[in-house]
C-alpha cells in the first residue's frame, strides 16, 4: 500500500508532458472502484447476517415442538399456519437483535401444511446505506434473500396387539424356570396350568415357587410398551392402542377384546395389567383346542379398519402378534398330521397374508417354543417340527419359519431364552415408527 501511495505522489508531482492531466482523469474511477468495493463488502456482510437469521427462522419455525409443528398435528386439512408465521418472525428478530447498519424493508414468513409436510419460507429485503457511492448519487444498496425449510410430520398409527394367552404360554420364561417347575411337580410338568378344578393347580404352584412364566413377562412387556409409546409420541393422540388375547377360558376360546382402540395410553397400560393365562376346567376341556388361529385371524382382520395415509384422522395400521406359534384347534386343513380332529401345527402364514394384503403391517414376536424333553405330549406332537432355532437356510424349526413368513418384511423377531420380550416389543415398535416415516 505504501509503495502504491508513493507512486501516486510521484505522479502527482511530475510536471512533464500530460502525466498530471492523465492522473487526474484516472483518479476518479480508481477511487470510485475502491468505494464500490468497500460499500459492496459492507452490504455483503450485512446480507450474510440477515440470511443467517432467516435460515434460523425457517428451520426453527418447523422444528419438532415448534408452534407450527404442533398446530399442524391438529389440522384436519391443508392450509396456512399463523402460529408458525409469528414464531418465524420472532426467531428472526431475536437473531438480529442489536445488529445495526441497515434499514429493514420487509420480512415475510409463510408457513403452510400440505399433506404430511410442513413448509416454512422466509424472505427479506433491506437497504444498506453507502459511503463512497454517495458521490455517484447512490445512497443505498438493497439486499434480499430467501430461505425454505421442510419437515415431515410424524405418522399417526393404530397398534393392534394380538397376545397369546393360551395354556402353552404358562411355560417357564427361561430354561431355569422350566427346570424349577419340572423338579417340583410329580409328573415333571413344565406348564403352570391354570386349572380351576384343582385348588392346588400348577398355576398357583408356579406363583409360590417364584417361577416366571411367559405370560408374566408378556404382561409386563405390554405395560412397558405403553410407556415407550407415550414417551415417543409428538402429539397426545398420535398413537392408539388396542389389546386382544385368545380368550378368558378354554370354553370361550376365541378373540377377546381386553382394551378397545384408544389414544389413552395410560388406560391401555392399566388394561395390560389384566393379561393373564387362559383358565381351564380340567384336562381336555374343549379337547384342549385353545389356540385357534384359523378363527382368530379372520376375527382380527375384521376388527382392524382399513389403513390410512398416516395423517391425523387417517392412521396407519400395525398388528403386533406375540405367540409361541403353535396352533391347537379343530382344523381339517391342518398343516401337520393331527390327533383325530385336533390340529397341532405351526401357524399357517396364509392367515397373515390376508391381513397384509390390505396394507396392514404385521410385526411378529415369536416367543421361542422351548424344548420340553420330559413332556410326552411335546415329544409326540411338537418336537417333530421344533428342531431348533430359525435358520433361513434350513427348515429345521418349522414354527419359527412359519412365524417369520407371517411377518411383514423387517418385522420378525424371535425371543431366545436369554432375550427379553419387553426389549423385543420396543424394537418392533421403533421399527414401526421408522418404517412409517420412510414408507409414507
Write out the DSSP string of 93-139: HHHHTT--S-EEEEEEEEEEEETTEEEEEEEEEEEEE-SGGGGGT--
Please state whether beta strands 326-330 and 117-129 pair in parallel, antiparallel, or not at all (unpaired). unpaired
* Alpha carbon separation from 335 to 266, 294, 346, 350 (Å, rounded): 41, 12, 7, 11
8 Å CB contact between 124 and 106: yes
Which domains can be identified in the chain, with CATH numbers?
2-152 (no CATH), 157-439 (3.40.50.410)
Q: Which helix (H) or strand (E) holds 80?
A: strand 79-80
- 291-300 tens-digit pLDDT: 889 999 999 9
**pTM of the prediction?**
0.74
Number of DSSP helices (H) and strands (E) in the chain, helices first: 13, 12
HEC per residue, 318-355: EEEEEECCEEEEECCCCCCCCECCEEEEECCCHHHHHH
Q: Could you say which DSSP state residue 156 is in? A: P
Q: What are phi and psi of 223, to 5 degrees?
A: -65, -40
8 Å CB contact between 255 and 301: no
* Mean per-residue pLDDT over the chain, rounded: 84
At 370, the pLDDT band (50, 70, 90 cuts) reads low
Counting Cβ atoms within 10 Å, is residue 106 exposed (0-12), middle (13-18) or buried (19+)?
exposed
Q: Could you say which DSSP state residue 248 is in? A: S
Q: Going by C-beta distance under 8 Å and a sequence separation of 6 or more, which residues neighbour residue 258?
A: 243, 244, 245, 271, 272, 274, 275
* Alpha carbon separation from 348 to 247, 307, 425 (Å, rounded): 20, 23, 22
Q: Please tell me the distance from the alpha carbon of residue 407 to that of residue 218, in angstroms, as a whole number.
A: 19
- 345-368 tens-digit pLDDT: 889 999 999 999 999 999 999 887
Q: Which has the minimum average pLDDT: 157-166, 187-196, 308-317?
A: 187-196
Q: What are phi and psi of 269, to 5 degrees?
A: -65, -40
Does the pLDDT of residue 233 top 80, yes or no?
yes
Does the pLDDT of residue 187 top 60, yes or no?
yes
Does the pLDDT of residue 396 top 60, yes or no?
no
Does the pLDDT of residue 172 top 60, yes or no?
yes
Amino acid at each position: 500500500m505504501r509503495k502504491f501511495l508513493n507512486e501516486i505522489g510521484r505522479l502527482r508531482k511530475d510536471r512533464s508532458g500530460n502525466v498530471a492531466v492523465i492522473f487526474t482523469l484516472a483518479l476518479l474511477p480508481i477511487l470510485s472502484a475502491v468505494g464500490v468495493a468497500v460499500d459492496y463488502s459492507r452490504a455483503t456482510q450485512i446480507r450474510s447476517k440477515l440470511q443467517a437469521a432467516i435460515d434460523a427462522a425457517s428451520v426453527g419455525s418447523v422444528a419438532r415442538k415448534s408452534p407450527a409443528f404442533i398446530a399442524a398435528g391438529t389440522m384436519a386439512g391443508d392450509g396456512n399456519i399463523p402460529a408458525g408465521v409469528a414464531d418465524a418472525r420472532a426467531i428472526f428478530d431475536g437473531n438480529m437483535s442489536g445488529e445495526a447498519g441497515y434499514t429493514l424493508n420487509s420480512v415475510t414468513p409463510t408457513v403452510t401444511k400440505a399433506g404430511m409436510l410442513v413448509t416454512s419460507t422466509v424472505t427479506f429485503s433491506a437497504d444498506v446505506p453507502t459511503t463512497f457511492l454517495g458521490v455517484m448519487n447512490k445512497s443505498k444498496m438493497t439486499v434480499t434473500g430467501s430461505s425454505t425449510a421442510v419437515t415431515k410430520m410424524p405418522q399417526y398409527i393404530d397398534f393392534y396387539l394380538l397376545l397369546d394367552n393360551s395354556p402353552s404360554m404358562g411355560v417357564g420364561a427361561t430354561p431355569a424356570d422350566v427346570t424349577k417347575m419340572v423338579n417340583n411337580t410329580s409328573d415333571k410338568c413344565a406348564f403352570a396350568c391354570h386349572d380351576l378344578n384343582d385348588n392346588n393347580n400348577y398355576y398357583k404352584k408356579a406363583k409360590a415357587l417364584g417361577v416366571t412364566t411367559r405370560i408374566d413377562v408378556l404382561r409386563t412387556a405390554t405395560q412397558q410398551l405403553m410407556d415407550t409409546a407415550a414417551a415417543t409420541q409428538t402429539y397426545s393422540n398420535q398413537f392408539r392402542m388396542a389389546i386382544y388375547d385368545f380368550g378368558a377360558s378354554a370354553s370361550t376360546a376365541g378373540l377377546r377384546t381386553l382394551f378397545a382402540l384408544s389414544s389413552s395410553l395410560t388406560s391401555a397400560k392399566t388394561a395390560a395389567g389384566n393379561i393373564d393365562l387362559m383358565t381351564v376346567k380340567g384336562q381336555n376341556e374343549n379337547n384342549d383346542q385353545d389356540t385357534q388361529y384359523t378363527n382368530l385371524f379372520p376375527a382380527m382382520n375384521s376388527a382392524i379398519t382399513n389403513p390410512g395415509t398416516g395423517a391425523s384422522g387417517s392412521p396407519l395400521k400395525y398388528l403386533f402378534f406375540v405367540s409361541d406359534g403353535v396352533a391347537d384347534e379343530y382344523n381339517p386343513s391342518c398343516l401337520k398330521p393331527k390327533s383325530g380332529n385336533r390340529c397341532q401345527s405351526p401357524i399357517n402364514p396364509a392367515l397373515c397374508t390376508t391381513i397384509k394384503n390390505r396394507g396392514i403391517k404385521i410385526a411378529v414376536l415369536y416367543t421361542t417354543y422351548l424344548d420340553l424333553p420330559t413332556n410326552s405330549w411335546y415329544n409326540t406332537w411338537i418336537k417333530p417340527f421344533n428342531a431348533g432355532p430359525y435358520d433361513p437356510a434350513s427348515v429345521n424349526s418349522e414354527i419359527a419359519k412359519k412365524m417369520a413368513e407371517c411377518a411383514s418384511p423387517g418385522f420378525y423377531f424371535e425371543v431366545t431364552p436369554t432375550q427379553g420380550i419387553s426389549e423385543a416389543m420396543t424394537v418392533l415398535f421403533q421399527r414401526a415408527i421408522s418404517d412409517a416415516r420412510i414408507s409414507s
